[in-house]
Structure 1
Amino acid sequence: MPPPYLSSATFLLLLLYSGHLAVSLTEPTFPSFPGCDGTFSCGNIHNLSYPFTGGDRPDHCGPPEFRLTCTTNEYPELISEPVTYRVLEANLTAKTLVLARSDLWNNPCPTTFLNSTLDSNYFDAGGVENVDLTIFFGCSSSLMPIQLQHRFFCDVGGVDLTDSYFLIGNVPIEPILKMIHCFKGVRTPLLRTVADDLNQSMLTLAEALTMGFQVTYSNPFDEKCLECGRLQGQCGFNVATSQPICICNSSICIPPGNSRKGPVTIILSTLGSILVVCGVALGIFVCKQRRKRRNRKEASSLKTESYTQSNFSSSIPSYPSPTTKDFTNCYYFGAQVFTYEELELATDNFNDSRELGDGGYGTVYHGKLLDGREVAVKRLYENNFKRVHQFMNEIEILTKLQHKNLVKLYGCTSKRSRELLLVYEYVPNGTVGDHLHGKLSNSNSNMFPWSVRLNIAIETAEALAYLHESDIIHRDVKTNNILLDKTFKVKVADFGLSRLFPNNVTHVSTAPQGTPGYVDPEYYQCYQLTDKSDVFSFGVVLIELISSLQAVDTNRDRLDINLAAMGVNKIQNHMLGELVDERIGFESDGVVRRMVTLVAELGFRCLQPEADMRPTMKEVVEILRGIQNDEMNAQKPEVVDFVVECGLFKDHNTQPPSPEYGVTNKLVNGSLPNSSDG
């Protein structure tokens, strides 16, 4: 008897259809899929099997993403449009390949300039075995701290690419192209061991490019292949349907016990189909009954919830009630966990009018929490593994720190939230960069005098010294990460790139990260991050405070694009007056002139290319406090010529200055004022 909710006609049609289906299933016609048994060779790679195809092996033996082009006794090639890769090694057990780009094979001067492209659904080149290699072609400036052995020459299709360079590590392509005026930039992975040999000039660039990089491959159809193995079949791929298939004896596998012919089988199949239909009908009936009970229960719950929310709203009339569970007592690394909906409400659905800034890792919005607190909500751009790591890194570091000049972290969303959000105290007066050369620079000449700038330098230095004492390197010190409150007090922010420093070590090895114009040149060259890397970046900040110029500006003269290079050049050539912002009173106020000169001297020391020649942040704090307290005015300055021996700024005539050197009277284009000038 048919179930009560199916009509007799419908039920009869189902039975007839099932009987017809059963008969059809017992007499199928299968296309043939021969030639996928065993292993095969392609070029000089042997013992290949599924998911790979190629050569004489038919297309249906594996997905098209794994089809190889085979040439006798040569490396097979894998095409991932528009780039072709040579397969140097294949490990089917570990599921790894070593690939090298065919267009760069023993040739660092390609005719077309393409970044590596591999389908991330099938291939992952982001393992620890690899490091990025970035090649810059046709550069017209030598401002970047690139070693001479990283330079090479090309002439491609009549295009003169003389003065091309390569860098190893995670470097930003577009800013460098603009900074050193390069024609093109190309990025490709490289085995880390090969990169180390290349960096030490044990290999040429052309040789390194033939050694390739390692990728891990995966096939989204592997789970279905396991089922195929239980049927003792061979996994394959139907190109016509773009679906995996299981091949047994050159045709699609049939589960054991099935036969293609026989009236008994037909009857049994028909009865089985009838039972299946009845089972489906019974399942539909049960599901409908459960849905009715659930709907009644939810309707009852909604009435109760509506009453509760109504009472809550009436008790707090100035704020709308939250629509999700209250996580006030939930903490992560010691930071309060907010719901996404709560922060969405606080920022008016992340309204563009609430945007405070837009950085390399996310956009920051002004918000107001239900408890009345004003906050800055950082919304990370992507919710991928790298962003989750930076998200957790910033939380872990900030929850351990308590300093008046570090921004406070109020909380975050869960790392499983639909978006990664960080909640900070709101610092209302913009960044130092805004006041020096940004959106607030034209209206605050009277509000940003030298006394304020010097105090900003001192408080920033104190915050960085505190971080270093806590074994933390900030790694992205710049004026856009120094916030100011209404009284121009400093709050150092943005710890996404910061690094917890292990105990009892002098440095950690890591690919260079940071903002162009602020990154330590020794860090670029040696991949050794130390607390002195922050000191170099702080030196750039000091030159910005003196000059009100940006760290990198491609609109300046070619030799002055990089402010660190420009600053050292002006100081070395006794032209400090050409560097200083005229609005701070350098020419008219003797006290300001003296203090600016001493800060320029300190900035010069911080910008030394060798880390050992730079002061520590603790020493920087003491020097700046001394300048502010006018303690150095009693010492008569000695005449010393500033020089830097190596790296970015070179002068081989004399030895570098000692930490005790004074200030040259030539430095300020005239006689140095004495204490009576104040």
Structure 2
Amino acid sequence: MELQRPKFESVGNESLENWQLIGFGGFGQVFKARHKKWRCDVAIKLPRHAAGDIELCEEANHMAKVSLHSSVLRLYGIYRGCPPNGGQNIQLGIVMELMDRGSVQTLLETLSGPPPWPLAFRLAYEIAQGMNFLHEKNILHHDLKPSNVLLDGDLHAKLADFGLSRVSTSVLMSSEEMSTVKGGTCQYMPPESFDPSYKPVRKFDIYSYGILLWSIICGKKPFPDATLALLKLKIPKGDRPPCDEIDQRKAEGLRELVGLMERCWDGDPSKRPDFGECDEITKDVFSKHRAGIHQAVGQVMKKLVQLNL
């Protein structure tokens, strides 16, 4: 059957210059390039193999449905051409908004801990906003984690990497890395998803959001030393990242956010909230700290500049 390519603006080599490799993984490579006519830098995601074209087009279709939301990475078009060092074969790629400040994961690593509370609470709110929009469009993310939440020049969060996304209840397969199995990354996967007969539903993303909240609050990776086999054994038995080091009196609203986090990762999917409720709670928490957001962002940006990031 012939591949049905998304009907988006086509971007070819004649429009691009100054290619630079900025990321790679099991999916393929991500380049930064300058679009001559648009006079701006863009990101271009290329699959590792031509067989990835179908998945890439599916990802682009999902992005197209949601990329107009302020908390979702913007899709610009489809690349079709011969990228640098790619030989003479024509390749397809996704042309996306370039995010200047990496991801939540790189931010936490750079800070060696959590961001200032106003920024942490804004990140929690913006991610909840974006995920609620995805679910309202009947799209599941299925790999929500710090490295898939990108940051723009003002450290606003945008959801990215829809490579595992599907319309609700579809079956997912991935073999990206050791910690990634059917439907996502183990540290962020709910206990029910380790059942071979599991079919993804919205509560999958809710659980992942709970673990992501823990990472933002604590500034750490969950289960850093656990093997894949151990995760598959312990998460279904109720193991979660530790909360004893979180002083809930440190910031107004932190108690409410921790409570939301624990509800999101409940072992019973029916007890998890939806993203509409997550949006409401995180909006309220962030509203208590909105006045301090500019100072918090400035504090973090100063450190990033000092480190030439």
TM score, norm. by length of structure 1: 0.36
Alignment match, 2:72: 406
Matches within 5 A, 1:228-627: 333-339=6-12, 341-342=13-14, 345-348=16-19, 354-371=20-37, 372-384=39-51, 387-401=52-66, 402-414=68-80, 418-437=90-109, 440-442=110-112, 448-501=115-168, 507-510=169-172, 512-525=182-195, 526-554=197-225, 568=240, 570-571=242-243, 575=244, 578=245, 580=246, 586=247, 590=249, 592=251, 594-627=252-285
CA distance in 2, matches of 1:495, 1:407: 10
CA distance in 2, matches of 1:598, 1:513: 29
Rg larger in structure: 1
| Structure 1 residues 342 and 513: CA distance shift in structure 2, 3 A | farther
CA distance in 2, matches of 1:396, 1:569: 34
For 2:281, give the aligned amino acid: I
User: How far does residue 481 in structure 1 lie from its aligned partner after superposition?
Assistant: 0.7
CA distance in 1, matches of 2:202, 2:14: 38
CA offset digits 1:416-448 (Å, max 9, x no partner): 9622321101110110000112xx235x97xx3
CA distance in 1, matches of 2:234, 2:31: 30
Note if contact 2:140-2:202 (Cα within 8 Å) is conserved in structure 1: yes
CA distance in 1, matches of 2:239, 2:253: 16
For 2:100, give the aligned amino acid: P
| Structure 1 residues 490 and 612: CA distance shift in structure 2, 3 A | same
| Structure 1 residues 393 and 545: CA distance shift in structure 2, 3 A | same
CA offset digits 1:456-513 (Å, max 9, x no partner): 0100010000010001001111110101111111111111111123xxxxx4455532
CA distance in 1, matches of 2:141, 2:48: 21
CA offset digits 1:165-202 (Å, max 9, x no partner): xxxxxxxxxxxxxxxxxxxxxxxxxxxxxxxxxxxxxx
| Structure 1 residues 513 and 414: CA distance shift in structure 2, 3 A | same
| Structure 1 residues 561 and 530: CA distance shift in structure 2, 3 A | closer
Note if contact 2:65-2:137 (Cα within 8 Å) is conserved in structure 1: no
Alignment match, 2:177: none
| Structure 1 residues 347 and 456: CA distance shift in structure 2, 3 A | same
Matches within 5 A, 1:150-299: none
User: How far does residue 359 in structure 1 lie from its aligned partner after superposition?
Assistant: 3.2
Alignment match, 1:6: none
Note if contact 1:550-1:563 (Cα within 8 Å) is conserved in structure 2: no
User: How far does residue 389 in structure 1 lie from its aligned partner after superposition?
Assistant: 2.0
Q: Which stretches in structure 1 are left out of the alignment for 5+ residues?
A: 1-331, 349-353, 502-506, 581-585, 632-678
Note if contact 1:376-1:423 (Cα within 8 Å) is conserved in structure 2: yes
Alignment match, 2:298: none
Note if contact 2:193-2:200 (Cα within 8 Å) is conserved in structure 1: yes
Note if contact 1:516-1:552 (Cα within 8 Å) is conserved in structure 2: no
For 2:96, give the aligned amino acid: Y
Note if contact 1:552-1:562 (Cα within 8 Å) is conserved in structure 2: no
For 2:62, give the aligned amino acid: I
CA offset digits 1:123-179 (Å, max 9, x no partner): xxxxxxxxxxxxxxxxxxxxxxxxxxxxxxxxxxxxxxxxxxxxxxxxxxxxxxxxx
Alignment match, 1:39: none
User: How far does residue 411 in structure 1 lie from its aligned partner after superposition?
Assistant: 1.2
Note if contact 1:333-1:399 (Cα within 8 Å) is conserved in structure 2: no
Identity %: 26
Matches within 5 A, 1:34-113: none
For 1:492, give the aligned amino acid: L
Note if contact 1:523-1:529 (Cα within 8 Å) is conserved in structure 2: yes
CA distance in 2, matches of 1:398, 1:555: 32
Taking only aligned residues, the RMSD between alpha carbons, in angstroms, comes to 3.1
| Structure 1 residues 529 and 427: CA distance shift in structure 2, 3 A | same
Q: Which has the higher helix share?
A: 2
CA distance in 2, matches of 1:550, 1:566: 18
| Structure 1 residues 415 and 388: CA distance shift in structure 2, 3 A | farther
Q: Which stretches in structure 2 are left out of the alignment for 5+ residues?
A: 83-88, 174-181, 290-309
- Report the 3-state secondary structure (helix = DSSP H, G, I; strand = E; otherwise coil) of the residue aligned with 1:528: coil
User: How far does residue 611 in structure 1 lie from its aligned partner after superposition?
Assistant: 1.4
| Structure 1 residues 358 and 611: CA distance shift in structure 2, 3 A | same
